[in-house]
Structure formats: structure tokens, C-alpha cells
A and B are shown apart, each in its own frame.
Chain A
Amino acid sequence: MSAPGAAPTRAGVITAQSVAVGYQGRPVVGGLSFTLDPGEALALVGTNGSGKSTLLKTLVGLLAPLGGSLDVLGRPPGGSPRRVAYLSQFHAAGFVLPLRVRDVVRMGRYANHGLLGRLGEDDERLIDESLERMGISALADRSLRDLSGGQQQRTYLAQVLARRADLLVLDEPTAGVDAAGQGVYGQALEAERARGAAVVVATHDIGEAAQASQVLLLAGRVVAQGAPTSVLTADNLLDTFGIGLRRLGDDYLLAAEAHGHQHPEPPGFEAHGHHDPAGHEGHGHAH
């Protein structure tokens, strides 16, 4: 992992230098510089509209970068469709789609076979494995439209796993997924990283962000970037969300204080403001 501000090298899965992203020429966030190497994970944390999804869409080639230099798997974004898997925030809820769970996961193999290439035994094995890793093997022959939102999300996550991609780009992957689903997702992601895949994930889950190699904290600007311990500090989160963070053991918990509005505190917790009484410094603060 590269240190914040360090000059990125060309060897990474992603190399971004002073990248600006946005829609129709209007930048949402700029000044993005980072590298991501195989097996690493970058977590994007930030408010709604802070540029997380815009950056993800730019990484997979759905949007053109508005400035700077962006290199994904040695090519411009979108230049390696077989090597990039993407989970968008919104997809068809399956109310109409007459698709079985297995059919949806099978779509993950289309990029590797084009319009007419036949899916072989290896593909079927990967599909079975992906279903199993997301804990939905028993649902394989069920219709997507008969499943709950969380089960549908697990199905789309299995589709991402079936891609066997070198870069996984995930937009709020655990939205609507229950605790058990989040567990299998966490294990699957670890396995993906262990085989060398890099991961970029937009998340509102501070605990998930803490598991990443590096974190990019966004609020229409880069608030902070670097290792989770240096970025996910009370000051930075207060700066981003207007709420403080208190670390308790290995868990990250959001304390109840927002922009001067005092909310009832959970028992045993203290609300805190810009000064972090736990002594965590705001390392990596970008401004």
C-alpha cells in the first residue's frame, strides 16, 4: 500500500494521480491520488453525494475522469472488462425478471465468453463455488423474484465472485444484507484478496472500512486518506459526518453527537467533539 501523498507507481492495480470525477463536466470530487496493489482493499467512506459512487463508476469506465491520470490494470478505465467485476448500488429488484438465482450468477461469466462463447465445466464449477461461498446454494433454482432483498443482494455478490476478476469494485455491497450474510461476505472478500484480487468498496459501515488496507474519507473533497487507524479518527469523522467516533476494543462505534445537537447517549458512552479524548490523532488529514 502506498502512503498518502507518496508518488504512485505504475505497477499497481489502480494508479490515480490528481484525478477529478463528476458528471457532465461538473466535478463532484477532485485531487484523488492513490495506488492499489493486488490483494489490497480500498474503502471509500463518506456522506451521501460525497463522490464515492462517482469514483467507482469512473474506475470501471462508466464515467470518464474529468482530470488527472487514471490507470486501471495497466489500461484506461473500462479497458479490461474481463478483469473487472462491479456491483452497482441499484439493480433490477427482480419483480418482473424470470431469472433463477443460478442464471443471475451465470451472467458473471458472460464477460469472459462474449456474445456466443459456450460456458464450460470450469465456468459451472465457478458458479457453484460462488453460490456456496455466499451461502445460497440451496436457493440456486429459486426464482430471483421470490427472494428477499438481502437474498437478492447475496445473489448479485455471488455474481461478482463468479467473475474471478482481478479488481472488484463494490458499491455498498452489504446494504440490506443480514448479519449472517455480512459474515459470509466478509469471508468471501478475504478469500478474494488472498488470491490476489484488489477491492475497492464504498461503504457506510465503519467496521468494514476498518478491515481495508487503506481508507479514503470523502465529503465532496478528500478529508483524509491512508491506513484505517489513521483515517477513521474522531476528528476526521466529525469533520466528514458531523458525528464523533469512539473506539472500543476492536469495534468502531459511532457516538451520538452531531453538529451541536445532543442526542441521548448509549449507556457507558461519552459524547465527544473535535477533541478526541481517546488520544487518537487525525493522521493523514488532507486539509
Chain B
Amino acid sequence: MTWLVDPFTANQFMQRALLAGVLVALACAVIGTFVVLRGLAFIGDALAHGVLPGVAGALLLGYPGMLGAVVGALGMIFGVSWVTKHSRLSSDTAIGLLFVGMLALGVVMVSRTRTFTGDLVGILFGEILGISVSDLVVQAVATVAVAVVALVCARPFLLLSVDPELADVAGFRSRRYHHVMLALIAVTVVVSFQTVGTLLVFGMLLAPAGTAALLARRVGAMIAWAAGIGLGSVYVGLLLSYHWSIAGGAAIVLTAVVVFFVVLTAQAVRAALVSRRSPAVEVAP
């Protein structure tokens, strides 16, 4: 059984990768739960990809990638808010166009660099095995901040999940807390993109929380389930990455998505078995 532990005890880069993955899993469990409850998956996707042109711009200008990610995320929050408010189309169409536009802009900008393929793969899929200690510190601070703000705003976030008007009438401004939620998603995306990449951070936001929604009967339990599934996915994904020499970030997210479909299938099979056992109501002739 040493193959379960040795990769982490024998390699410092694997220890850092595990710690970074744990922090991503925890932050994504907290805010991903509200993304799933509020049906904000598409906005989350848009935010995750909105950081791409910011990161690309920072690389071109010689600034840290995380700074560019912050600028990109802020731009995307503004863009999402603007199109949601002003578009007469359904918001998913407007946000979809914004997200594709930002993604294309990012690729265009990255294509101006000499190391086009390497940079793009690094931004989209992360470099979890190359995480530094300073990256970990930033990630830890951000994870604690996301958890604390989400805890403080739990009541308005819950009311928003049921009905934004309910939040407004209870004295919690729905627009204000909607923007707080977007900001928390953005922070999670910004600090996670180096670990699992912009493409895959979206998977970590959705897959563990989505699986948890199938299993939990209370929001607190949903966050706990999401954290457990996320942590398990990080551990299994890193093991797969180490032993089979596959991309770490992708292995983590793939594990989380597989868990979702296993649970979904198990529940569907169980429901089918239960309905088969229940006798059909017979109509008297």
C-alpha cells in the first residue's frame, strides 16, 4: 500500500501540490455550493474564462499572472453585470457571447508570445506540480477569506437561492449580495487558476458541489459533502497523475466529474429499483 503514500512523503513538489489542491477543494466547496444552488454555473464558467485575457496581458507586459487574473475577473464581473442589466436577450446568450469573446481575446493575446502553446496550456490546465510556497500562502489567505465572507453572508445567500425578492424584502439587498457572491467566485477562480487552470477550476466549482446536491438534505451538509468529494478527488487525481504520468489538474477534475456521474447513475438505478418494487395501481374494470 506504499504507493498510496510514498508519492507524497518522498516528493516536496507533491506535498505542495496536495496542499494547493486541498485549498482549491475547500474554497470551491464553499462557493461552488452557492453557484449550484443559484444556478450560476454559466456565470461561473464565464468568470473562469474571463481571467484568460488578463493573465495573457500580464504575461505580455511582464507582470505577475495573478495580477492580470484579478483585472480580468473584475472586467468579467462588470461585463456580466452590464449585459445582464441591459440585454433584452436571455442573460445566458449575452453572457455566452461575452465569455467566448474574452476567451478568443485571451487566445489572440497569448498567440503574440513566442511560447504560445506552453503558455496557453499552463493557463487553461494549471501547473499544480510547479506550485511555490508563496502561491500557497496567497491561496490559503484567499480560501480563509472566501470561507469567512460566505459564513457571514450565509443568510442572504440562502434567501437569494430561494428567491432574490425574498432577500430584498427581508432587508438584505439582493444586488449587493449577488455581487459579493460574484466576487467570491472571482477570488476562488483567480487563486485557483495556477493550480488547476481556468478551464478546470470551473470543474472544481461545479462537480463536487453538484454531487453534494444529490446527496445532502441541508446546505451545511452540502458544503461538507462538496469539501469531502473535492478533497478525495485531489488525492486520487494526484495519485493518478504521479503513477500514470498524466496532467495533475485534469486528473483531479476528471476524478470529481466521474464521482458525480457514478452517484447520479447509482441514484437513477436505485430509483428504478424502488419503482419496480412498488406495485402499480390497478384500475378496477
Interface of A toward B, CB cutoff 8 Å: 57, 60-62, 78, 81-82, 84-86, 88, 90-92, 96-100, 103-104, 107, 110-111, 114-116, 143
Q: Is B162 a contact partner of A98 (Cβ separation < 8 A)?
A: no
Tell me which residues across on chain A come within 8 A of B98, comparing CB atoms: none
In chain B between 133 and 174, which residues have their CB closer than 8 angstroms to a CB of chain A? 152-153, 155-156, 158-159, 161-163, 165-166, 168-172
Q: CA–CA, A126 to B197, complex, Å?
A: 48
Q: CA–CA, A107 to B166, complex, Å?
A: 9
Tell me which residues across on chain A come within 8 A of B165, comparing CB atoms: 57, 62, 86, 88
Tell me which residues across on chain A come within 8 A of B264, comparing CB atoms: none
Q: CA–CA, A115 to B157, complex, Å?
A: 10
Q: Provided the pairs A81-B171, A107-B159, A110-B155 are in contact, do residues A98 and B166 lie with their beta carbons within 8 angstroms?
A: no
Tell me which residues across on chain B come within 8 A of A111, comparing CB atoms: 169-171
Q: Which residue of chain B lies nearest to A98 when distances are taken between CB atoms in the complex?
A: B216
Q: CA–CA, A62 to B39, complex, Å?
A: 22
Tell me which residues across on chain B come within 8 A of A86, comparing CB atoms: 165-166, 169
Q: Which residue of chain A lies nearest to B39 when distances are taken between CB atoms in the complex?
A: A96
B37, B152, B213: which contacts A115 (Cβ < 8 A)?
Answer: B152
What is the count of residue pairs linking A and B with beta-carbon distances less than 8 angstroms? 73
Q: Is B218 a contact partner of A98 (Cβ separation < 8 A)?
A: yes
Tell me which residues across on chain B come within 8 A of A110, comparing CB atoms: 155, 159, 170, 172
Those 4 A-B pairs whose CB atoms lie nearest each other, nearest first = A81-B171, A111-B170, A91-B163, A86-B169
Q: Which residue of chain B lies nearest to A145 when distances are taken between CB atoms in the complex?
A: B217
Q: CA–CA, A116 to B156, complex, Å?
A: 11
B152, B156, B169, B219: which contacts A98 (Cβ < 8 A)?
Answer: B219
Q: Provided the pairs A98-B217, A98-B218, A115-B153 are in contact, do residues A82 and B162 lie with their beta carbons within 8 angstroms?
A: no
Q: Is B217 a contact partner of A143 (Cβ separation < 8 A)?
A: yes
Tell me which residues across on chain B come within 8 A of A92, comparing CB atoms: 161-163
Select the residue from B36, B156, B162 with max chain A CB neighbours within 10 A: B162
Q: Provided the pairs A96-B36, A99-B218 are in contact, do residues A82 and B171 lie with their beta carbons within 8 angstroms?
A: yes
Select the residue from B155, B156, B169, B213 with max chain A CB neighbours within 10 A: B169
Tell me which residues across on chain A come within 8 A of B131, comparing CB atoms: none
Tell me which residues across on chain B come within 8 A of A90, comparing CB atoms: 163
* B196 part of interface (Cβ distance < 8 Å): no
Q: Is A103 a contact partner of B166 (Cβ separation < 8 A)?
A: no
Q: Which residue of chain A lies nearest to B222 when distances are taken between CB atoms in the complex?
A: A98
Tell me which residues across on chain A come within 8 A of B168, comparing CB atoms: 60-62, 78
Q: How many of B's residues come within 8 Å of A, CB to CB?
A: 26
A98-B218, A111-B170 are known; give 12 further A-B pairs, CB within 8 A: A57-B165, A62-B168, A78-B168, A86-B165, A88-B165, A96-B39, A97-B161, A98-B216, A100-B218, A107-B159, A111-B171, A115-B152
Q: CA–CA, A154 to B153, complex, Å?
A: 27
Q: Is B170 a contact partner of A103 (Cβ separation < 8 A)?
A: no
A-B contact pairs, 7 of them (CB 8 A): A78-B168, A88-B165, A96-B36, A97-B162, A98-B213, A99-B158, A107-B170
Q: Is B219 a contact partner of A91 (Cβ separation < 8 A)?
A: no
Q: Is B37 a contact partner of A97 (Cβ separation < 8 A)?
A: yes
Q: CA–CA, A286 to B145, complex, Å?
A: 58
Tell me which residues across on chain A come within 8 A of B36, comparing CB atoms: 96
Q: CA–CA, A100 to B37, complex, Å?
A: 14
Q: Is A81 a contact partner of B169 (Cβ separation < 8 A)?
A: yes
Q: CA–CA, A85 to B168, complex, Å?
A: 11
* B108 part of interface (Cβ distance < 8 Å): no
* B60 part of interface (Cβ distance < 8 Å): no
B152, B172, B217: which contacts A116 (Cβ < 8 A)?
Answer: B152
* B97 part of interface (Cβ distance < 8 Å): no
In chain B between 34 and 65, which residues have their CB closer than 8 angstroms to a CB of chain A? 36-37, 39
**In the assembled complex, how far is the CB of residue B161 from the closest CB belonging to chain A, in whole angstroms?**
6
A96, A100, A114: which contacts B213 (Cβ < 8 A)?
Answer: A96
A78, A88, A100, A143: which contacts B166 (Cβ < 8 A)?
Answer: A88
Q: Is B169 a contact partner of A61 (Cβ separation < 8 A)?
A: yes
Q: Which residue of chain A lies nearest to B219 when distances are taken between CB atoms in the complex?
A: A98
**In the assembled complex, how far is the CB of residue B231 from the closest CB belonging to chain A, in whole angstroms?**
20
Tell me which residues across on chain B come within 8 A of A84, comparing CB atoms: 169
Tell me which residues across on chain A come within 8 A of B169, comparing CB atoms: 60-62, 78, 81, 84-86, 111
Q: Is A81 a contact partner of B218 (Cβ separation < 8 A)?
A: no
Tell me which residues across on chain A come within 8 A of B171, comparing CB atoms: 81-82, 111, 114
Tell me which residues across on chain B come within 8 A of A60, comparing CB atoms: 168-169
**In the assembled complex, how far is the CB of residue A248 from the closest CB belonging to chain B, in whole angstroms?**
36
Q: CA–CA, A103 to B219, complex, Å?
A: 10
Q: CA–CA, A84 to B170, complex, Å?
A: 8
Q: CA–CA, A111 to B169, complex, Å?
A: 8
Tell me which residues across on chain A come within 8 A of B216, comparing CB atoms: 98
In chain B between 216 and 232, which residues have their CB closer than 8 angstroms to a CB of chain A? 216-219, 221-222
Q: CA–CA, A82 to B218, complex, Å?
A: 26
Q: CA–CA, A64 to B170, complex, Å?
A: 17
Q: Which residue of chain A lies nearest to B165 when distances are taken between CB atoms in the complex?
A: A88
B156, B170, B219: which contacts A99 (Cβ < 8 A)?
Answer: B219
Q: Which residue of chain B lies nearest to A96 when distances are taken between CB atoms in the complex?
A: B213
Q: Which residue of chain A lies nearest to B152 when distances are taken between CB atoms in the complex?
A: A115
